[in-house]
A and B are shown apart, each in its own frame.
Chain A
Amino acid sequence: MHVWGTTTEDLFSEAAAALFSIMFPSCKPGDAHQTFTLSADSHEALLSEFLSEILFYAEVECEGYTSADVKIEGFNLEARLSGEPYDPARHAGGTEVKGISRSGMKIEKTKRGYETDILFDV
């Protein structure tokens, strides 16, 4: 999946949106929210940990997300996920993502802002 954003925060939100489009194509914005913070030693590590954290919350909280608000300072991240409770009867049709390949991910500064390729293991 190729993702870009004007800022690193945009890039992270877009990466989350890409993940949501695979896993939760039929979920709608709702009253399910999760907030978490993360730290890492690079933006690449932060991005893969951020996406892995989404997989974790989606599964243990049984929620399908539609958006992620992200604040980044240095290599510290604060995220708020929004969506609705996941209902297998209504929300089937997404693809289960087993993991995020953190290896080889490289965030590049381009004319469009920041870009990267992300590999989802499905």
Chain B
Amino acid sequence: MRRIFSLMYEERMIEGIQKAGPFEWEIPVGYTPGMRVPGRFFLSEELMPTLEQGALQQCANMATLPGIEKYALAMPDIHWGYGFPIGGVGAFGIEEGIISPGGVGFDINCGVRLIATPLTVEDLGRIQPLLSHLFTKIPTGIGTKSPLKLTDPDLDAMMNEGASWAVNQGYGMASDIARCEEQGSLDGADATHVSTKARARGRPQCGTLGAGNHFLEIQTVTEIFDPVAADAFGIKDEQVCVMIHCGSRGLGHQICTDHIESLEKAAKKYGISLPDPQLACAPLTSPEGEAYFSAMACAANYAWANRQMITHFTREVLAKQFSIDYDDMPLIYDVTHNVAKFEEHMIDGKKKKVCVHRKGATRAFGPGNHDLPPGCENIGQPVLIPGSMGTPSFVLKGTQTAMEKTFGSTCHGAGRVLSRSQAKKHLDGGEIRDHLGLQGISVKATSNKVIAEEAPDAYKPSVEVVRVVHEAGLSLRVARLEPKGVIKG
């Protein structure tokens, strides 16, 4: 497995890039024709060999889009993606800027949440029975459907209200809402821009985990770096937590598919020159751009409601298995890492409203900002960074540096070094399951192929990615969590 990683080292390609700081690199204007601003990405020397030429080019391509402010940015989990690189962040002015599905991705509002429990690792005992109960309760993998029958008005409400809809239906606690980015709901959702097909895919999938890189993981807190922030977030040493990673399922995929077609036509109609057709886009103020935003917001809200429902199922399983109170499992936080949304940022000394695209990147608002959960006003926003299967996850806090350098953004995970097909070809899922077992980590997955696709060696080391954002000041380490058991589609 290590052999494949060393092959990646030989593919290094960093010509034309300038160092701009200890962990900061600049792609100068002119790297690719039509760049309006420079590109900036954050990476350590250690991670530099994982940088793909294609991802670098995608960062430069972002910089050619109309209305882009300051820099086309990429976080240290930068990886070749669709349109923007994964790890890409771009902010666009409202009047002159664009919105692009290539800056959001097919899995709209793919995101992560972390739930606290009153349990410690000793309370867990043998983890397999717990994983089996969770696997039974939470539909997981391709072809699994929700036990719930959503009506069209239910789906409308879910897409309009997001996490609040789920809580009002009995899936969770009122206090969960303040612990979600944007209170678990984007303004501006308009279901008239969601197709019949997207609805047909969305109705049977509410409350399902999905497949691919989505997972539910039982973790324990093994290190507290910042006791004050950990206390404010509700995290204690040796505590068992549950991390949920999933998105808007087929509804989001279909909305992306439906709107790409109209945005391709719109780019031509408005005379936007694109270096890569995957950057199909429309002006934010155009009917096509507004329609995409409204539909994307529906998918984002669906995803928040989806994670909220899975949270409820998880609490029910844990409450029953360990005889603990449902209310003793508060939500620590919920972040989205595939979204475009309107935020205010200081640009050249002036506050300006922009549409921030985060494509595999996490919001990391610093202290004193609006939209921080109760008790975190002077700390900064909780930032959740999942590891790959078998590697640690981290909780960090947002910073003022992120506000100044990255429109309040940081990394979203470890970032791939092998594609899913490469991982399947070169890695053995059964072997990995055994190896993880020796480390005390149990995996319940629909197949060994899924394990190979998401194996730790298919990703950059999460510890190093998090070190870069910490050292660069984009977010600061609060706690480290180690995996104990995972369920995957």
Contacts from A to B (Cβ < 8 Å):
23, 45, 52, 55-56, 59-60, 62, 64, 86-88, 91-96, 98-104, 119, 121-122
* Measured CA separation A45–B142 after assembly (Å): 26
Is B82 engaged at the interface, CB distance under 8 Å to the other chain? yes
Give the interface SS of chain B, mostly helix, strand, loop or mixed: helix
The answer to whether A23 and B142 have CB atoms under 8 Å apart is yes
The residue that B212 contacts in the complex, of A55, A62, A93, A122, with Cβ under 8 A, is A122
The answer to whether B201 and A59 have CB atoms under 8 Å apart is yes
Q: Smallest CB–CB gap between A84 and chain B, Å? A: 12
List 26 contacting pairs A-B, 8 Å CB cutoff, sorted by A. A23-B142, A55-B257, A56-B197, A56-B200, A56-B254, A59-B250, A60-B204, A62-B145, A86-B142, A88-B141, A88-B142, A88-B143, A88-B446, A91-B143, A92-B141, A93-B446, A94-B449, A95-B211, A95-B212, A96-B212, A98-B107, A101-B82, A103-B280, A119-B82, A121-B105, A121-B106
Interface size range of chain B in the complex: 35 or more
* Measured CA separation A104–B274 after assembly (Å): 11
The answer to whether A94 and B257 have CB atoms under 8 Å apart is no
Contacts from B to A (Cβ < 8 Å):
82, 105-107, 141-145, 197, 200-201, 204, 210-212, 250, 253-254, 256-257, 260-261, 264, 276-278, 280, 420-421, 424, 446-450, 453, 489
Provided the pairs A56-B201, A93-B447 are in contact, do residues A101 and B278 lie with their beta carbons within 8 angstroms? yes
Provided the pairs A98-B107, A121-B82 are in contact, do residues A62 and B143 lie with their beta carbons within 8 angstroms? yes
Q: Smallest CB–CB gap between B455 and chain A, Å? A: 14
The answer to whether B253 and A55 have CB atoms under 8 Å apart is yes
Provided the pairs A103-B260, A104-B277, A121-B82 are in contact, do residues A87 and B143 lie with their beta carbons within 8 angstroms? yes
Q: Smallest CB–CB gap between B444 and chain A, Å? A: 12
Closest A residue, CB atoms, query B429: A93
Q: Smallest CB–CB gap between A25 and chain B, Å? A: 8
* Measured CA separation A95–B451 after assembly (Å): 11
* Measured CA separation A60–B280 after assembly (Å): 27
The answer to whether A122 and B420 have CB atoms under 8 Å apart is yes
**What would 7 more interface pairs be, CB under 8 Å, given A56-B201, A95-B211?**
A56-B197, A60-B201, A88-B446, A96-B211, A98-B107, A103-B278, A121-B106
* Measured CA separation A14–B409 after assembly (Å): 42
The answer to whether B142 and A92 have CB atoms under 8 Å apart is yes
The answer to whether B277 and A103 have CB atoms under 8 Å apart is yes
B residues near A100, Cβ cutoff 8 Å: 257
* Measured CA separation A93–B447 after assembly (Å): 5
A residues near B105, Cβ cutoff 8 Å: 121
B residues near A52, Cβ cutoff 8 Å: 257
Q: Smallest CB–CB gap between B212 and chain A, Å? A: 5
Interface centre among B106, B107, B143, B261 (most CB of A within 10 A): B143
Q: Smallest CB–CB gap between A99 and chain B, Å? A: 4
Q: Smallest CB–CB gap between B270 and chain A, Å? A: 17
B residues near A94, Cβ cutoff 8 Å: 142, 449
The answer to whether B449 and A86 have CB atoms under 8 Å apart is no
The answer to whether B210 and A96 have CB atoms under 8 Å apart is yes
A residues near B212, Cβ cutoff 8 Å: 95-96, 98, 122
Q: Smallest CB–CB gap between A64 and chain B, Å? A: 8
* Measured CA separation A85–B143 after assembly (Å): 10
